[in-house]
């Protein structure tokens, strides 16, 4: 039986539910502005916990998870030094900062609250999101494009994975004699059926194996063995299905690109450049559709080791808690996300990954022995670090919000507003070529072709390894600049001329 919830438990559940709903409702948290706002909210929640509900000193599981994720954030940002795209690497660091702050807030609260509270919040949030989709009649409408597919998340596979995680959480609560969670399956299962997401069904299947193994209270070695066998079967099935499919082409290019710089990688966020340079298919993608393969390509072996540490620590904590049915449900749900992230770009969809980290942080906090309340000096230091992280999120938000304004204005053919937005974005993100590119589009829309061409040239000169920028230069120039741009395109994106 679960203990009677406290006020802190209720606050933790409400925060987890609200965060899940908000990120999922913002197109799955795919766009930078949602990461920045989410990071600010997470930092604020962590600060509130430090002041009004002082957390306990973190144990070894909590320290291991936070240290691994913070190291991944640092390595992601550091990769900008050797990255083929400085702006892309900084964007990846912004997204990872959200996950760092979500884990910080979850650990701060979970050290004092019941581990069932965050799980209940994620369950309720996933239920609301799935009901939202069913009411809107989303379905797997891939023909309508990414933005309108599977509302409100915007990507069918991520919505389906969230439903799979919710299913496992509901079963965990039912095993803890909370059958009130079972009716949620009436929303989760129809969403899974509608989205036709084979990967999410497979992740759910492995999650069920994990749930049963933990609930049977098998020896730790037996649970690990059963889980590894089920995960291996999932991986083999995913690879077999990917053969002859475009996803297989993504993975093949990722593996080839990873072999070029195996230790450091090509820099966070640069898989798209590898794809354009090495692809044999005339299709476009931004991601390798595999967290682990893309990390190996972009951040090298060092980055992959850090990612594996981030996912293995909560799983190890769940193994330690195998006597608890709620913890078994949370571990199974987290395991489903771990597998799903290996075969799709769920890492980029913060609406499904942030809830997974809430579950993972709650597991790690629960696996540690109760410790004394953190000392005042430690809380002050943690608050200062949170303040610096929040300031970084504010600066990122100012730049990304200006970019979003400029893009919206271009969509309305309001070229004056687009130019103003691009100018503001340039002020906050001088390292990014995107404000210059948007300036070029705005000038071209106003008929100022010479100035537009100059803006495109400046943008391409800022990140000369990005063939997408040289396309704009080639289209806006003539003579020798035009020929040089085409020559760059031939090296960076050979298939451009065949499409």
Q: How far apart are CA 39 and CA 390, in angstroms?
A: 7
Is 173 within 8 Å of 294 (Cβ atoms)?
no
Q: What is the pLDDT of residue 419?
A: 96
* Contact (CB, 8 A) for 219 and 225: no
Mind listing the pLDDT tens digit for each residue in 424-448? Answer: 999 999 999 999 999 999 999 999 9
Residue 141 has pLDDT above 90, yes or no: no
Residue 241's pLDDT is 86
**Domains of the chain, residue spans:** 7-374, 402-498
Question: Cα–Cα distance between 239 and 253 in angstroms, integer?
Answer: 14
pLDDT at 220: 83
For position 4, what pLDDT does the model report? 66
Sequence-ordered alpha helix ranges (H) in 216-324: 220-242, 246-258, 271-278, 291-320
Compute the distance between CA of residue 464 and CA of residue 441 in angstroms, rounded to an integer: 19
Distance CA 493, CA 70 (A): 34
Q: What are phi and psi of 54, to 5 degrees?
A: -50, 125
Closest CA to 232 of 342, 307, 104: 342
Average pLDDT, the chain: 93
Q: Rounded to a whole number, what is the largest CA-CA distance in the chain? A: 77
At 23, list the tokens: 């990120």
pLDDT at 256: 95
**pLDDT for 147:** 44
**Per-residue confidence at 143, pLDDT binned at 50, 70, 90?**
very low
CATH class of 402-498: mainly alpha
The pLDDT-based confidence of 498 (bands split at 50, 70, 90) is confident
Region of poorest pLDDT, from 108-112, 198-202, 332-336, 467-471: 108-112
140, pLDDT greater than 70: no
At residue 138 the predicted structure's pLDDT band, cuts being 50, 70 and 90, is low
Alpha helices in 111-245 (DSSP H): 116-136, 156-175, 185-195, 198-215, 220-242
């Amino acid at each position: 039986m679960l203990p009677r919830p406290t006020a802190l438990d209720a606050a933790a559940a409400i925060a987890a539910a609200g965060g899940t709903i908000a990120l999922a409702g913002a197109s799955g948290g795919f766009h930078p502005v949602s990461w920045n706002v989410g990071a600010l909210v997470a930092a604020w929640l962590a600060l509130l916990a430090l002041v009004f509900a002082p957390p306990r000193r973190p144990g070894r599981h909590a320290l291991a998870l936070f240290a691994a994720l913070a190291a991944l954030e640092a390595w992601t940002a550091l990769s900008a030094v050797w990255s083929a795209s400085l702006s892309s690497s900084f964007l990846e660091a912004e997204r990872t900062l959200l996950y760092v702050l979500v884990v910080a807030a979850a650990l701060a609260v979970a050290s004092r609250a019941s581990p069932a509270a965050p799980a209940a919040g994620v369950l309720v949030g996933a239920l609301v999101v799935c009901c939202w989709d069913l009411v809107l009649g989303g379905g797997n409408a891939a023909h309508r494009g990414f933005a309108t597919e599977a509302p409100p998340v915007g990507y069918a596979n991520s919505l389906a994975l969230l439903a799979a995680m919710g299913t496992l959480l509901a079963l965990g609560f039912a095993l803890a004699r909370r059958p009130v969670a079972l009716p949620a399956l009436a929303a989760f299962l129809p969403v899974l059926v509608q989205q036709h997401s084979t990967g999410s069904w497979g992740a759910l299947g492995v999650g069920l194996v994990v749930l049963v193994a933990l609930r049977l209270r098998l020896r730790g070695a037996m649970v690990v063995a059963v889980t590894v066998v089920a995960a291996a079967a999932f991986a083999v099935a995913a690879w077999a299905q990917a053969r002859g499919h475009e996803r297989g082409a993504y993975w093949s290019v990722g593996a080839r690109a990873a072999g070029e710089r195996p230790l450091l990688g090509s820099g966070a966020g640069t898989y798209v450049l590898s794809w354009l340079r090495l692809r044999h298919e005339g299709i476009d993608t931004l991601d390798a559709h595999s967290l682990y393969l893309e990390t190996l390509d972009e951040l090298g072996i060092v980055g992959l080791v850090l990612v594996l540490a981030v996912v293995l620590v909560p799983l190890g904590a769940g193994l330690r808690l195998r006597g608890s049915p709620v913890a078994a449900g949370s571990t199974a749900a987290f395991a489903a996300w771990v597998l799903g992230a290996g075969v799709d770009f769920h890492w980029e969809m913060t609406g499904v990954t942030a809830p997974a980290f809430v579950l993972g942080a709650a597991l790690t906090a629960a696996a540690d022995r109760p410790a004394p309340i953190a000392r005042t000096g430690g809380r002050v230091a943690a608050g200062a670090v949170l303040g610096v992280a929040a300031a970084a999120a504010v600066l990122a938000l100012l730049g990304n919000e200006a970019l979003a304004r400029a893009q919206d204005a271009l969509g309305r053919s309001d070229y004056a507003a687009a130019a103003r937005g691009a100018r503001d974005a340039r002020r906050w993100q001088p390292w990014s070529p995107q404000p210059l590119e948007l300036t070029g589009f705005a000038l071209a829309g106003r008929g100022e072709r010479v100035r537009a061409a100059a803006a495109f040239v400046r943008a391409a000169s800022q990140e000369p390894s990005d063939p997408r920028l040289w396309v704009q230069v080639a289209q806006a120039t003539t003579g020798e600049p035009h020929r040089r741009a085409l020559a760059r395109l031939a090296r960076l994106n050979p298939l451009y001329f065949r499409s």
